[in-house]
Amino acid sequence: MKQVRRRSCTGFGLLMAVAVMTGCTAGNGRLCGPQTPRAYCDKKTHDALANPPSQRDSWAAGTADASQLGAAWVACGGMANGNVGIDQQGGNGPETVQRLTRKNDDVQRCMMQKGYRYTGTCSGDTASRFPACQSR
């Protein structure tokens, strides 16, 4: 019995050693994150992480051009840079997160009322709760 247990432990240990030594890979064979040097990531992945699109860029409406989209975004309470923000009075506590979530939801509802449709992703725990994703 001890010999069988020792073999399985040795096998498991060997398997873990191989897994640790090989590491994780993605893309061009290396992990790529927002602070990873560009040389370690493929260009498309690095650019998407370093320069994410604004929230405004996830909306479209028929023949509306970029200036009309920008004007609608600001009229709905979005910021001129294309994102949603609030004054962070009191820091980054749960109340601030709730205020930002409400503001984001209000901007989305306003954009839908103006006839814009959300073209962004609805996958994931947070995005799936967006009003624009709930209306799909």
Residue 36 pLDDT: 73
**Same domain assignment for residues 83 and 39:** no
**Same domain assignment for residues 67 and 6:** no
Give the tens place of pLDDT for each residue, 36-51.
Answer: 777 777 788 777 777 8
Residues 43-63, mean pLDDT to the nearest whole number:
86
Measured at the CA of 94, the angle between CA 93 and CA 96, to 5 degrees, comes to 70
Phi, psi (rounded to 5 degrees) for 117: -120, 145
Residue 55 pLDDT: 95
Q: Is residue 2 pLDDT above 60, yes or no?
A: no
Domain range for 119 is 53-134
Q: Is residue 6 pLDDT above 60, yes or no?
A: no
Average pLDDT, the chain: 80
**Same domain assignment for residues 104 and 60:** yes
Give the tens place of pLDDT for each residue, 91-133.
Answer: 778 888 899 999 999 999 999 999 999 999 999 998 999 999 9
**Same domain assignment for residues 13 and 37:** yes
**Same domain assignment for residues 105 and 76:** yes
Residues contacting 110, CB < 8 A, separation 6+: 75, 76, 77
**Same domain assignment for residues 127 and 66:** yes
